[in-house]
Each structure stands twice: as structure tokens, then as C-alpha cells.
Amino acid sequence: MAKELKDLTKRSDNYSQWYNDLVVKADLAEQSAVRGCMVIKPYGYAIWEKMQRQLDDMFKETGHVNAYFPLLIPKSYLSREAEHVEGFAKECAVVTHYRLKNAEDGSGVIVDPAAKLEEELIIRPTSETIIWSTYKNWIQSYRDLPILCNQWANVMRWEMRTRLFLRTAEFLWQEGHTAHATREEAEEEAQRMLNVYADFAENFMAMPVIKGVKSANERFAGALDTYTIEALMQDGKALQSGTSHFLGQNFAKAFDVQFVDKNNKLDYVWATSWGVSTRLMGALIMSHSDDNGLVLPPKLAPIQVVIIPIYKNMEQLAQIDEKVAGIVARLKTMGISVKYDNADNKRPGFKFADYELKGVPVRLVMGGRDLENNTVEVMRRDTLEKETISCDNIEQVVKDLLEEIQANIYKKAADFRASQIREVDSYDEFKEEIEKGGFILAHWDGTPETEEKIKEETKATIRCIPFDGDKTPGVCMVTGKPSQRRVLFARAY
Amino acid sequence: MAKELKDLTKRSDNYSQWYNDLVVKADLAEQSAVRGCMVIKPYGYAIWEKMQRQLDDMFKETGHVNAYFPLLIPKSYLSREAEHVEGFAKECAVVTHYRLKNAEDGSGVIVDPAAKLEEELIIRPTSETIIWSTYKNWIQSYRDLPILCNQWANVMRWEMRTRLFLRTAEFLWQEGHTAHATREEAEEEAQRMLNVYADFAENFMAMPVIKGVKSANERFAGALDTYTIEALMQDGKALQSGTSHFLGQNFAKAFDVQFVDKNNKLDYVWATSWGVSTRLMGALIMSHSDDNGLVLPPKLAPIQVVIIPIYKNMEQLAQIDEKVAGIVARLKTMGISVKYDNADNKRPGFKFADYELKGVPVRLVMGGRDLENNTVEVMRRDTLEKETISCDNIEQVVKDLLEEIQANIYKKAADFRASQIREVDSYDEFKEEIEKGGFILAHWDGTPETEEKIKEETKATIRCIPFDGDKTPGVCMVTGKPSQRRVLFARAY
């Protein structure tokens, strides 16, 4: 077995270390020289590109267009919306100067004190403020609405504790920012985009999610409501995977964006924003992967099928090369991305382990006997099951298998989650159960104070008030006060 | 005629104003609240996306992969390569703090002096330094080479005079960074990517370019050689449209990146970097557009065909809608992007002017008589010629027309450029001719001093020493010293 694999920590030994190992060893990302900022390596970026392409298509299908707004935000803009600045000021990178110069003592370059900015600029932690200052010029009348813009961008939040993909100072994301004539339209948009995220998570990432609304404590800084999709990782911790915010008229008021409505009356514009980030890479890894490495859903795998030859001599390799060329061509006609790895400087065992580590969904192996029999050995990454099949009609067999793997990965994650959701009625029981991980549905009195108390005492937070599920009222497990319905608790990333 | 069009300055009146007007009025981009930073509006971004997609495909076809490196670069890294820091230190945005706090006097948020970074961070003006500090960990042996990475990113150079797309403080670009085992391989790569850029410029942007190498004065800071493609704008000024750098071992030495070669000897790694940016948007606009607005090459037009109905009443509109639905479907089967604009709140004349302004290559108009006759009026944007054609087989007619427009736009630009290149032998003649604009081929003695003198006295620079063309030696027009061949001069953006 290849060295890389032997070094991968087992999940049962140390889940956190397993994750860190896997991200680095599977060539997804690594720490950079800049504190908290990561390098996304080519294989990791290829997965992100597949996510981007799919999400971008879904945004465009729902009527959105892309645009690009400045990286830097004037400090005063950030301050316009009171809650917003409160939420982001404590962790932002500040540009104060625009020039370096040679030190007079020859010791290198220093910041030129003469090149101090009149007003400091913040590297965007999110773009509501710069975008709404722009929308002010785009919107005069109801005829200019809705505006349905998205941007793909890098943002920066100066986090103190960082982990690759899950929490980094700089990360890549998309942020949608929409402007509407009515409250109803904006609320509908925020819901629509949450549904797009849930669709993407479930049908492409093969990751089941629970949709709901955040409690006041967990709301986006400046939003009236934050909708969320929450996923459950294999270690029983929750991961917030995408959020969509109904911003009301807060940013329109902060930037004085008014419009003339159909009745010729002035009103402030209604807003939403919504985003998912490279954090989804962390969610993808932790949802499906195992002690042998990544397990990727076929729809997001950069390489869906790898073909590896086993040969005694170069003459036999040449025969296999010829046979495989035909298989590759047939797989490609089905839109399957396939790599034939006939590199002669690595042994088959090394290749097997490496492609397992990288989560390639289907592996085909062809040896001398296969050549004679017109067969190939097929292994699926999700179950590691192998069988030998005929090369006839292989493109259809592989296509069907990829679909089956996609469905099976989802089912496995959904079954796991189902086993990890339970209802709890007393706070004592809650404290016991939360230690075991998973989602807990419990009654809560709706106050920030009770939520805060639970968080302090158990490290659990309200992940969301689910849209679906049991809506029977009850009494709060902590205070005994009335509760409208059970809400979803978990410890979270 | 619509208001927008009347307000567009004529090129002959003021070319520079025409450009500024057009960028804003065609909804491509606008100035933001942050000095020198632009907002790329949805229509402009849609063109950039088409450029990106095409270039990205071409990079991947030539074996490159995408990755992502940090936005921020430690100050000390920038200083490692002496020429590099000299070239970029004078115009860079410097991050000095990582937190804001509430002012004690309640006047708002201020930079928290307690949150000063130990080492200042620079927003990348280009990423050689952060990338080579990373490559150091990726490269041990010749088996790790070549590395062929590209990144799509935003970069920042604190330019004092900015113009939308042409020169902005923040801009979007791609930067390729490759590492090789030999000088020959690296030089070949730098040439290969210049050829990719030339192919893209000519066959997608319909913009003829001259390929060549930069003189020492115009070289990228830290490169041994900079290759360039130079285009000619309609006002006779040159625009550098893409560069590819052979970096030698400079960055490998600065970051101590050595590898064991096939003979088991240690050597420094050879490097290239290459990039094109949103500046190409400026080149595209200025190459083809006219006093009516944008002229876009079909291969990069977000909307290739617009269809506009002319109707007497809603009943007739319904009939046209039905007829057009079939045409739209047939165009789409040919991969043509088509928009049917039957919005009832704008008059046809407004629509005509608007789509002309936006450079949509083909316009189809269907009125009541067309409906009876199974015809449609077709107008091509490049020549503004109109004719009435049958709806039968219209998808093939339009497809052919789009190809013809693409070719015609290129030919027009190539003919113009041919008319603007001439040879000059005396410096007096040069001074006269340079006032008329265009490219001038003249002899130069090869020294930076003479180049500098010419630049000071005439504002002309050596755009490149062309790879092709007449290579007869001569004597320098300024000093009379020997000249190996004529080089290409122009005033430039």
C-alpha cells in the first residue's frame, strides 16, 4: 500500500486529524505563508470549478446575471448599517497605505508614510454595502426592478482559528444581491435561492440538508431573516452549508435607495443576499469520505473513471493501450470524464491507492487475461466492490454505475442522518444526548437568553427552525415556558 | 432616435470621450465609490465571461490546470526579487491592520491600533512571489515538473490615472505560472502561450495583433524576456493586449526552488508567467465599435441575434410571438444565442437603437407583412445593411451570416491596420509621422538610452521587436549606429 494511504489517520482515531490529513494528502488544499489563507491546489480547484459551473447554471436558469464589484470598501460604508458593522468590524483586513519605498538605511522596503489614505479601505468581508451604494444609481423606478445580480469573488474575514476550507481568512464564494419592489417578492427570492442551494446540496453533492430559518442570535448582521441549509457530518457535528437572507429595507435605507412605485409613490427598495463558499468543499469531504480517502459523488468528480493497465512487458502494454483507446472514446461519447493512466514510472498498487485517495468513483483495470477475454475489472469507490465485466456495451454499464453510485452515496448519508436525529424533552436528557453528536429536536421558548444559556452550557446552537416536520407546540426544555414547535439543535462547525 | 444614442460622442469629435461614453452607455462598466476601481456591469461581465470560458478551454487544451493562491503577499516576499519589487512597490495597496473598533467619542468606527500586523501584507499586483514560495514545497525532483498552473483572480495596482477597463486600480485577469526542468522547455512554453493569446485575439476578438519581444525597458519586472501581442486601435494608438514572460531562474533563485534533475544534479527551476486581463474589454471595444455603439464579434457576443416584433395590436403580437417561437427554437438548435424582445413598454425605435448600442451582431424584425409573407427583415450590425429574407432555412442563413460578420470585422480591422503601418528612415520623418498615429517600423541601435530619448521627445515607445517581417539590418534613425532590424514604434495606451 502506498505511503500516502498508510499515513492517513483513521476517522475513529481522530476525526479532526483525519480531515486535515485528507485535505492535504488528496491534493485539495494547503496552508499558505499568509496566516489563515489557503492555497487551493489543482485537484481541489477542479472540484470547486465543477461546483461553480453547476451553481452558475442554476442561478442563470432562475434569471440571475453575473457582475463584479470592487474588492475594497470605504470604512464609512461599512458603518452605514449599524448591525452590519457590528458583525464584521472585528475581523477585517484594513488597507491604510498605497505605496512602499526603499528604507533609507538600505534594509529593504518599508511602508511609505507619505502614502497614507485619507479614508481607510476594508477588504470586503461581504459586499452588501458597496453593492447598495452602486444600486442607488441603478434604481429610480419600479421599471428598474428587480435587479438579480450575482458575483463570484474572494472575500476576507480575519478569523483567529482557521481550518482548510471550513474557516479561512480568505475564501472564495458567490454572493447574490437582489433588489425588489415589494416585500413579498424579496421574501420569495430569498426562499427560491435557499431551494436552489438545497437542490444543489442534495442532487449534486449527494448531501441531505434540513431547510429552515435561523433564530435571531444566528442571523446575518443586517438581515431581518436568514434562511439556511444544515447538513450533518460523519462525526455528528452540523455544518451550515448555505444561507439566504431577507434584508428587508435595511440596506436601502442605509444607502438611501428609493424608487417610484406603480402608484407614483416613493418607497425604499427591498433586498436579499445569498451565498455559498469554498466551505462546501469541507462539507463534501466530511459527508462521504472514508479511511481510504475521498469519496466523491460522480456529478462533481473531476475524473469519473480511471483506467489502469496491468502488463508484463511493453508489447502487452501497447496491446492494452489500443484496446483502452476504444473504451475511452466510447465513454467520452456518453459525456463521462475518463483518465487512462498508463504511466510506466508508478506501480499499479500505487495507482490504485492514489485514485482511491482522490475519490475517483469508478476504476477499471485491464490485464493480460482481460485482453484475451474482452473483459475489464470494475471497482466502485463507494463500496469498494469489484467485478469483472465484458467490454461490450461498457459505456452504458459505466454510465448506469455512476448514477447508482451518486444515488447510493446520497442514501448512505441520508440513512446516517436519519439515525442521528432524535427528539428530547428534558434539559438533562439534552445535555446527555448532545455529547453523542447528531441533531436534536427540542422545545425552546423563543428567547435569545435561553438560547445563549444552552450554548454556554452545552456548546450546542440552534441550527434552524425547520420549515418542515412536526409543528406541535410544547414547553421549553429549559424554562418550561410555551414553545411554538421543536427546533433543531446541534454542535456545529 | 433614443436619448442614449444622441448623447454618444462621435469618434471624430473626441475619440477618448466616445470611448468613455460608450463603456457607460452600453452598460459595460462604471466608476465605483473607490478611487480607480470599477464596477463591471452585467452586460460587460457577460462579454468577459465569454472571453474567460474560451481562454480557459484553450489553456486546458494546452495541458494547464487552474488553482488559487492567496490575495495577500507578505511584504518581505515582494522584496525577494530585486527588479520585481522595484517594479511594483510604488503602486501597491498595503494592509496594516486586521480590526476596526468603535471610537471612544462615539464618532463611528476607527482602525484599532492594537490590531497592527507584525508584517504588512500587500494586495497582489501579480502573484509570482506567493506562487514561487508555494512551488518550493511542490518541487523536489524532475518528476514533479513541469507544473502548469493558471489562476483567475483580481489584482491591484495603485494607478494614479485610471480609465475604465484600460487602466484600473483593481482588475480581473488570469495569470499562468509554470515551472520547468530546462531553459528550452520554459522558453517554448512562453512562446506557446503567446501564440494562444494571438489565436484568441485574432480568431475570437477579430483583432489582428503583431507578435514580438519587448525591449529591455518595457520588460516585466523580473523577466529575462517578455513576449507581447500588440494591437492597433481605431485612433492609431497601440494597445498591449497580452504578455508572456520567460522568467529564467530569477524567481527560483529568490525563493530557493531547486530540483534534482535526471542526472541526479541539483539545479534551479525555470519559470514562465503569462496573463491577459479585463483590459482586453477595452481593446475589443476600441477595435470595432462605431458612432452608433458597440460592434461585437459574434463569437464573443452574449446575445448573437435579437428579434423584435412590430405590431398594430396585441392580437397581431400574439401571432408574431407564435411564429417567432419556432424561429427561436431553430436558431437555438444551431447553438445560436438569441433574445426575443417583445416587451410592450418600449417602442421598436428605442429597441433598435439600444441593441445597436449594445453591439448585437444580427437583428431580425418581424412585422404584419412579414407574417403574411413568411419573411423577416435581417440587419447586420457591422455594416448596418438590411434585407428581407424568407423564414425557410433561416437558421442556416443566420449561422452563415454570423460567420461572415466575424470574418468581416476581422478583415476591416486588418485592412485598417495595414493602412497604418509604414517604414520611416529619418528621425525628422519619424517625428512627423508619429503625430498621425499608427505603427512605425524604424531602425534603432538597441540601446535603452536611445529608446528613452525617443520616448521623451515623441511619446512613442517600442511596442515590440516583431518575430516576423523584414529582418534586414540598417542604421539607427537617431544615432546612426548599426541596427539589426526595424522595430515597431507607436504611441500606446
**A100/B90 touch (CB, cutoff 8 Å), yes or no:** yes
H-helix or E-strand spanning residue A269: none
Tell how strand B29-31 and strand A258-260 pair up: unpaired
* CA-based nearest distance A230→chain B, Å: 27
Indicate the average pLDDT of chain A: 96
* CA-based nearest distance A36→chain B, Å: 10
CA distance A39 to A373: 46
Residues of B in contact with A345 (CB under 8 A): 143
State the span(s) of chain A assigned CATH 3.30.110.30: 421-490
The CB density around residue B57, as the number of other CB atoms within 10 Å, is 10
CB A359 within 8 A of CB A382: no
Indicate the average pLDDT of chain B: 96
Closest residue of chain A to B98, computed from CA coordinates: A93
User: What residues are paired with B271 via a beta bridge?
Assistant: B179, B248
**A93/B98 touch (CB, cutoff 8 Å), yes or no:** yes
- CA B403 to chain centroid: 22
List pLDDT tens digits, range A108-137: 899 999 999 999 999 999 999 999 999 999
Q: What is the mean pLDDT of residues A200-228?
A: 96
State the CATH class of domain B303-399. alpha beta
CA distance B26 to B332: 25
**A38/B122 touch (CB, cutoff 8 Å), yes or no:** no
Closest residue of chain A to B81, computed from CA coordinates: A108
Band the pLDDT of A321: cuts 50, 70, 90: very high
Residues of B in contact with A46 (CB under 8 A): 65-66
List pLDDT tens digits, range B351-377: 999 999 999 999 999 999 999 999 999
Residue A468, pLDDT above cutoff 60: yes
CA distance A136 to A146: 13
CB A223 within 8 A of CB A88: no
Environment class of A376 (CB within 10 Å of its CB; exposed 0-12, middle 13-18, buried 19+): buried
CB A219 within 8 A of CB A247: no
Nearest to B205 by CA among B226, B175, B232, B174: B232
> Best mutation site among B71, B78, B107, B133 for testing chain A: the one with the most A CBs within 10 Å?
B71
Give the pLDDT of residue B2.
46
How many Cβ contacts (< 8 angstroms) between chains A and B? 190
CB B153 within 8 A of CB B278: no
Residues of B in contact with A38 (CB under 8 A): 70
Give the pLDDT of residue B5.
54
CA distance A201 to A229: 9
* CA-based nearest distance B81→chain A, Å: 11
List pLDDT tens digits, range B460-489: 999 999 999 999 999 999 999 999 999 999
Q: Using DSSP, state whether B224 is helix, strand or coil.
A: coil
Closest residue of chain B to A56, computed from CA coordinates: B49
> Best mutation site among B47, B51, B80, B109 for testing chain A: the one with the most A CBs within 10 Å?
B109
CA distance A377 to A394: 11
Question: Could you give the count of Cα atoms lying within 13 Å of A217 in the half-sphere of its Cβ?
Answer: 16
- CA B95 to chain centroid: 28
Give the pLDDT of residue B100.
95
**A109/B96 touch (CB, cutoff 8 Å), yes or no:** no
Residues of B in contact with A49 (CB under 8 A): 66
**A66/B42 touch (CB, cutoff 8 Å), yes or no:** yes
Q: What is the mean pLDDT of residues A249-260?
A: 97
State the span(s) of chain A assigned CATH 3.30.930.10: 28-288
**Nine-digit cell at A28?**
485539495
Tell how strand B362-366 and strand B375-380 pair up: antiparallel
| A308-403 belongs to CATH 3.40.50.800 | yes
CA distance B473 to B484: 4
Tell how strand A210-213 and strand A225-232 pair up: antiparallel
**B71/A123 touch (CB, cutoff 8 Å), yes or no:** yes
**B94/A111 touch (CB, cutoff 8 Å), yes or no:** yes
Helices B394-419, B279-288: axis angle to 10 degrees equals 90
For the CA atoms of B300, A197, A85, A66, what is the dihedral angle to 10 degrees? 10
Residue A1, pLDDT above cutoff 50: no
List pLDDT tens digits, range B388-398: 999 999 999 99
Closest residue of chain B to A171, computed from CA coordinates: B70
Give the pLDDT of residue A82.
82
Residue A3, pLDDT above cutoff 60: no
Minimal Cβ distance to A41: which of B67, B73, B78: B67
Band the pLDDT of B86: cuts 50, 70, 90: confident
CB B474 within 8 A of CB B443: yes
Closest residue of chain A to B152, computed from CA coordinates: A153
CATH topology of domain B421-490: Translation Initiation Factor IF3 (3.30.110)
Band the pLDDT of A6: cuts 50, 70, 90: low
Residues of A in contact with B153 (CB under 8 A): 154
CATH topology of domain B3-89+125-288: BirA Bifunctional Protein; domain 2 (3.30.930)
**A99/B92 touch (CB, cutoff 8 Å), yes or no:** yes
List pLDDT tens digits, range B439-467: 999 999 999 999 999 999 999 999 999 99
Residues of A in contact with B65 (CB under 8 A): 42, 45-46
Residue A4, pLDDT above cutoff 70: no
List pLDDT tens digits, range A13-71: 999 999 999 999 999 999 999 999 999 999 999 999 999 999 999 999 999 999 999 99
> Best mutation site among B50, B100, B102 for testing chain A: the one with the most A CBs within 10 Å?
B100
Give CA angle at A399 (A395, A404), nearest 5°: 145
Q: Which of A81-95, A125-139, B267-281, B332-346 has the lowest mean pLDDT?
A: A81-95
CB A91 within 8 A of CB A125: yes
Minimal Cβ distance to B34: which of A45, A70, A92: A70
**A98/B93 touch (CB, cutoff 8 Å), yes or no:** yes
State the span(s) of chain B assigned CATH 3.40.50.800: 303-399
* CA-based nearest distance A25→chain B, Å: 12
Give the pLDDT of residue B106.
81
| CATH no., domain A28-288 | 3.30.930.10
Minimal Cβ distance to B111: which of A98, A111, A120: A120
List pLDDT tens digits, range B370-380: 999 999 999 99
Residues of A in contact with B158 (CB under 8 A): 98-99
Burial string for A419-455 (b: 16+ CB within 10 Å, else e) reads ebeeebeebeebeebbeebbbbbbbbbbbeebbeebb
More confident residue, B248 or A80: B248
Query: How does DSSP assign B87-125, residue by residue?
Result: HHGGG--EEEES-EEE-TTSS-EEE-GGGEEEEEEEE-S
Residues of A in contact with B49 (CB under 8 A): 66
* CA-based nearest distance B385→chain A, Å: 31
List pLDDT tens digits, range B141-196: 999 999 999 999 999 999 889 999 999 999 999 999 999 999 999 999 999 999 99
Closest residue of chain A to B149, computed from CA coordinates: A42
Helices A183-203, A42-61: axis angle to 10 degrees equals 140
Residue A108 backbone class (left: φ over 0; alpha: ψ -120 to 50; beta: rest): left
CA distance B274 to B284: 20
Give the pLDDT of residue A254.
96
Residues of B in contact with A77 (CB under 8 A): 33
**A71/B45 touch (CB, cutoff 8 Å), yes or no:** no
CA distance A95 to A78: 14
Query: How does DSSP assign A275-321, residue by residue?
Result: EEETHHHHHHHHHH-BTTB----GGG-S-SEEEEE--SSHHHHHHHH
Give the pLDDT of residue B6.
58
Residue A200, pLDDT above cutoff 70: yes
Give the pLDDT of residue A306.
98
Minimal Cβ distance to A96: which of B45, B96, B108: B96
Band the pLDDT of B1: cuts 50, 70, 90: very low
Environment class of A159 (CB within 10 Å of its CB; exposed 0-12, middle 13-18, buried 19+): middle
Contacts of B205 (CB under 8 A, 6+ apart): B51, B280, B283, B284, B287, B297, B300
Residues of A in contact with B52 (CB under 8 A): none
List pLDDT tens digits, range A391-450: 999 999 999 999 999 999 999 999 999 999 999 999 999 999 999 999 999 999 999 999
Residue B384, pLDDT above cutoff 70: yes
Contacts of B489 (CB under 8 A, 6+ apart): B430, B434, B439, B440, B441, B442, B454, B460, B461, B462, B463
**A94/B99 touch (CB, cutoff 8 Å), yes or no:** yes
Residue A267 sits at φ, ψ, to 5 deg, of -150, 160
User: What residues are paired with B212 via a beta bridge?
Assistant: B228, B466
Contacts of A470 (CB under 8 A, 6+ apart): A441, A485, A486
- CA B376 to chain centroid: 36
> Best mutation site among A51, A52, A94 for testing chain B: the one with the most B CBs within 10 Å?
A94
**B97/A94 touch (CB, cutoff 8 Å), yes or no:** yes
State the span(s) of chain B assigned CATH 3.30.930.10: 3-89+125-288
